[in-house]
Structures are given as C-alpha cells and as structure tokens.
Amino acid sequence: MGELRPPRDDEFDALLELMNAHQLAVFGEADVTADELRTWMTSPSVDVERDLRVLERGGRLVAYADVDPTREEPPLWWCDLKVAPTADRHGITAELVAWVEQRAGAGTIRVWTSAGDERGLATLTGLGFTPGRHSYRMEIDLGEEPAQPVWPDDVTVRTMREDEHERVYEAVKEVWQDTSDAMDETFEEWAHWTIRTESFDPSLWFLAFAGDELAGFSLCREDATDPSAGYVGTLGVRRPGRRQGLGEALLLHSFHEFRRRGYRRATLGVDASSPTGATRLYERAGMRVYRDTVFLEKRLS
C-alpha cells in the first residue's frame, strides 16, 4: 500500500511531474516550475525530513503533502496537498490530512483548491474543513497600449539598486501588515524567494519615491510558466502614499514596461477580499479574473 515518507533527492523530477499532473487536473494549468520547487525545498524555513511527505505506490509517486507554519501562536499551518489524477484522491487526501494534523498538533491548518473543484471541495469539507477566502489570478492583454500612469505630485519612479534589498524588504513587510495575512518572513527567507531565484530581474523592480522616502513598489518578473507574459509579483503602497493613485500608477507603469519588452499579457495574484481594495484597483486597470482558488481551514483542538 505504501507509506508517507520524506522525498528522496533522486525523486525531484518525479515529484515535479506529480505536482503538475495534479495542477493540470484541478486548475487546468501545469504551473509548477523546477525553479519554484527547488526554491521551496531549499528554503531556510523548510526541513524536508520533517515538513514534506510523499506517497509511493506501484513504484510511482501518487501524492504529496507539506506544512509551512507561521510564527504566530498558535500557528497557522499552510498545507499543500497534491494527488495524482489516476489515484484514489478521496482516500489519499484523508491520509495526507491525517499526517498534517499529526505534524501540526495545534493551531489552524489551511489548504486550498480550485473553486471549481467540486469533488475536492466535498472531500475536504467532509474531513472537517470550512471554505473561506478566495484568491484570484488576474490578467490583461497588452495588445493595446495601456492607459498612461498619472503620478502624484513630487513622486518619481526608478528601478531598484543593489544596495536597497533590505529597504525594499522592510517596506513590503510594513505594507503587508494591512493585509489578511501579515508577512512574518525573515529577510533571509524573503531574499531566498525573491532576489536569489533564477527569475529575479532587478530591472523589473520599480520603486516610487516621494522625496527620499520609499512610497510604493511594483516588484515584477517574467511569468513563471508563460514566457509571453509579465508577472506583477508584489505591488504595494505605504500608508502615507495611499489614496493618491500611486498604486494604479505603479501598475500601469509595469504594464507599459512589459509591453515595451514584447510581453503580450500581464498577470498577478490577489486576495479576493483584500482589505486594501487591490482587486478593485486591478479591475479598474482592465484586468479580469481567470482563476479562482478557495482556501479551507480546520482548527485543531
């Protein structure tokens, strides 16, 4: 029958194949890249032996689970569950959840799937999970020239310099305090996922300044799975710069740079119920939702 165990180093390609088979079946996109998986498995916060599990049956990997706790007490455990489309998803998901609950012990566990994944949602709710927030992937075609950005008075924009990594990190962390999930990554963890990845392109990190103060940022890269698209990875405005159109100006500036480089579309991800009104901002700029992910949570006693 097989048992859950940590993945081996020589199973990287098989694990990537499993993940993308799951993503294609559930979300319609095989969107896990080798760079993303490698970055996750080497993250400073991840212990592969402790935090990752795979299930092997008939000589093939058929399931994967991981846990990624926040630092709050009790922690929120972000848990990724993936099952091969040809396997018994209902029964295997129950095995994965049992391991996640044992590993977590206390706090709240959070999983996710496509909002259109009726069978997966039924399985998870049957295991005690409650659907909650949604996350959208949004896009815009860049065939036509986007509207011109209108900058607030005395605001200038430029790309990031090499000596500004920690300054940008502090600004991102500050802005994320006003979102549904405050950022608790250390600088080393943040840098591992951003400036130390293969996809990092500092010429696509745009910083807006009001005088000498960093007022906002749009940290972009090429879309991980669509080389014809630019991706807005992190966009934010610090409190003193809000309600002046700076967020929209940074977004449109990013679109123009994408188009200048030959990208045919722009994409991003956003919390559907963002307290800062990000979804409305993106809709005003002409973006539309093309993927809806639902988060489900279960509080452990």
* 65-88 tens-digit pLDDT: 999 999 989 999 999 999 999 999
Q: What percent of the chain has pLDDT over 90?
A: 95
Please state at what angle helix 118-126 crosses helix 89-104, rounded to 10 degrees.
Answer: 50
Task: State the pLDDT at residue 226.
Answer: 95
Nearest one of 271, 146, 159 to 219, comparing CA atoms: 159
Q: Is a pLDDT exceeding 70 seen at residue 240? A: yes
Mean pLDDT score, 206-229: 97
Task: State the pLDDT at residue 1.
Answer: 58
Identity of the residue numbered 60: R
DSSP 142-195: -SSPPPPP-PPTTEEEEEPPGGGHHHHHHHHHHHGGGSSS-----HHHHHHHTT
Task: State the pLDDT at residue 231.
Answer: 98
85 Cβ partners below 8 Å, 6+ apart?
21, 22, 24, 25
Instruction: Evaluate whether 255 touches 281 at the Cβ level (below 8 Å).
Output: no
Distance (Å) of CA 176 to CA 40, 100, 134, 193: 21, 27, 17, 16
Three-class secondary structure of residue 200 per DSSP? coil
CB count, 10 Å around CB of 249? 23
Beta bridge partners of 80: 66
Query: CA-CA distance, 60 to 77, in Å (whole number)?
Result: 27
183-198, pLDDT tens digit by residue?
989 999 999 999 999 9
Distance (Å) of CA 139 to CA 40, 127, 225, 290, 295: 25, 34, 14, 7, 21
Confidence (pTM) = 0.95
Query: CA-CA distance, 298 to 100, in Å (whole number)?
Result: 11
Instruction: Evaluate whether 4 touches 83 at the Cβ level (below 8 Å).
Output: no
